[in-house]
Amino acid sequence: MIHPKLTLVGAGPGAADLITLRGIKAIAEADVILYDALIDDSLLSYAKPDAIKQFAGKKFGCTSLSQEEINELIVKYALEKGHVVRLKGGDPFVFGRATEEIDMARAYGIEVEVVPGISSSIAVPASQMIPVTSRGISESFWVTTGTTKTGEVSKDIALAAQSTATVVILMAMSKLTEILQIFTENGRGETPIMIVQEGCTSNEKYVIGTVNDIAPKAQAAGLGNPAVIVIGEVVGLHVEYAGRIANKYAKVKQK
């Protein structure tokens, strides 16, 4: 007898060994795995030999399936095969459109479970030894998407730019110029910033600087999505940023 079930699994920020043990267990028990682009493909090796493994993500801005089609696949496979694992990069509840998939499954009486994952919003800065909060430097942090459903820059970014909080912006490279302008208009031009592409993977690249000078650095490095933008005084704790300031001070002193 088939028992329809959907498990949303967070695969973590990039490296395969950053998934949880519970996440691996869910993959091993799945009859169907619908996986996104930002996961390490080696995680699929934990699946049963006869499990269906279907890509259902985005690559280079091209959508393999619409969200509506993914929702329909979840229901179809759950009713026909049983246990469906929706394998997502990071955490399912951080810009993962998990609510839409859960609502669809529940509408058909399908059991739902969530296995949290390590979010790139925290893990990627941490991999660069940048805390999102630090006593005496940052008391809080914002996590926001670069664009809204309508394709515009999120209004929350303008609010965040007025605070002293660390601001972490995901999937926002196409809006980088507009975002930097917002921070500049709020008097934050000298605020430290780091952009990390494909964080927590062997392909990781990053640039570091200030709001005023980061754009040409990012362009020269060829950075694009998937990337995490971290803006705030905590970026100044990075060893490279500290060295940059020390060198700048030394040059001024020599003059």
Is residue 128 a contact partner of residue 235, using CB atoms and an 8 Å limit? Answer: no
Is residue 119 a contact partner of residue 11, using CB atoms and an 8 Å limit? Answer: no
Give CA–CA dist 234/245, Å, rounded.
14
Give CA–CA dist 237/55, Å, rounded.
39
Give CA–CA dist 238/168, Å, rounded.
15
Helical packing angle, 67-80 and 98-107, nearest 10° = 40
Neighbours of 133 (CB within 10 A): 14
In the residue annotation, 171 being an active-site residue is answered as yes
Q: Catalytic pick from 104, 171, 173, 194?
A: 171
Neighbours of 107 (CB within 10 A): 10
Q: Residue 33 class from Cβ within 10 Å (0-12 exposed, 13-18 middle, 19+ buried)? A: buried
- Residue 174 is given by DSSP the state G
What are 8's strand-pairing partners? 86, 114
Q: Catalytic pick from 58, 81, 205, 217?
A: 58
In the residue annotation, 5 being an active-site residue is answered as no
Which sequence positions are flagged as catalytic? Answer: 36, 58, 171
